[in-house]
Structure 1
Amino acid sequence: MRRAPGRSGRALTYPEVGASLTGELPPGYRHQRHRVRLGTGRALFERSAAAVTGWELHRRAGVRPALGTPPAVAGSDVDLTAALGPLALRMSCRVVAVVDEPDRRGFAYGTLTGHPERGEEAFVVHRDADDAVWLEVVAFSRPGRWYTRLGGPLARDAQRAATRRYLRALVELPAAPLP
């Protein structure tokens, strides 16, 4: 796992950097930990890992990285946009760690100043000893803006819905290699 500081000058909004990848989520946050079996085989693992690190997972889930966003690199900042009905929600995050192991690949990003939430989310594809391929999404968060504090349950529901979209996005990944 590689970690690097950000280069944009914007600050992370929480102190527990990297905790989404450690297995121990910090207290005082809402926690989410979901995983889904994608299938089996090295080819599926490679396609799925490329979809995660190349932002295709996010695109398929309706969360758009800014044009020209490179694959996830530790220390890089990414501006994301999610449509909420007629509204577009902009969110800025920093890739705080990249996982690049033979049977585990993905990354974690953390929220930057101005993001509606405070916390971190990790997206990791792994292949187990039985050749099964899994996507795991782990997050901890709490409201970061007045409207997410005010929205309470609605903000939590929106985050759960986004996680479900992430999980479905790779389950529905076509068999063909990604562009």
Structure 2
Amino acid sequence: MNLRFSLDEPESFGSLPRQLEAARTVAKLGLAQIFKEFTPVLAGTIPLAIDLPESDLDILCFAPDLRIFAAHCQKLAPKLTDYRERQMVLRGIPSFVESGRFENFELEIFAQPVPVPEQWGYRHLLIEARLLKLVGEPLRLRIIELKQAGLKTEPAFAHCLQLPGDPYAALLELETLDDEQLRELIEH
């Protein structure tokens, strides 16, 4: 599956009202230009149309040097309310998160010294997109229902598929399955 959610291609965000609003917000903030050298990609629930009204815009970036990335974040900071940044180590990988609010969206810009296609958030996006394509509207509505009940996205998918263990890791185990194998898993 060749999905692209590049900030340079806002039409790839989708055509639903919330997706179009996300594209306008990305353009207004100039995110494609600010983070151009970090291959920014929109991830999360909005491009999959499983978002809630309070869902944030999740943007993934590849930043070989997190200090340089943090300096770029300062270009965006004055445009956001409730601006925050934090450094952490996730699953052994140094990570940087910038967050804040702009108009109708909470933004979270996440960077690691790992190419975006190898980051867990992007890999989750791809497998979730495949599952939604295979199952369609019933799965999409069930995921939204579970999210409204308080589950995060990956645990909601794991619940629907009855995946044991860590839902984030369990979803990634599905990456190697072809569509027929995924259909069999879904049917059981």
* TM-score between the two structures when normalised by the length of structure 1: 0.25
Which of the pair is proportionally richer in strand?
1
By relative contact order (CA 8 Å, sep 6+), the higher-ranking structure is 1
Structure showing greater radius of gyration is 2
Choose between structure 1 and 2: higher helix proportion.
Answer: 2
- When the two structures are superposed, what TM-score results if normalisation uses the length of structure 2? 0.25
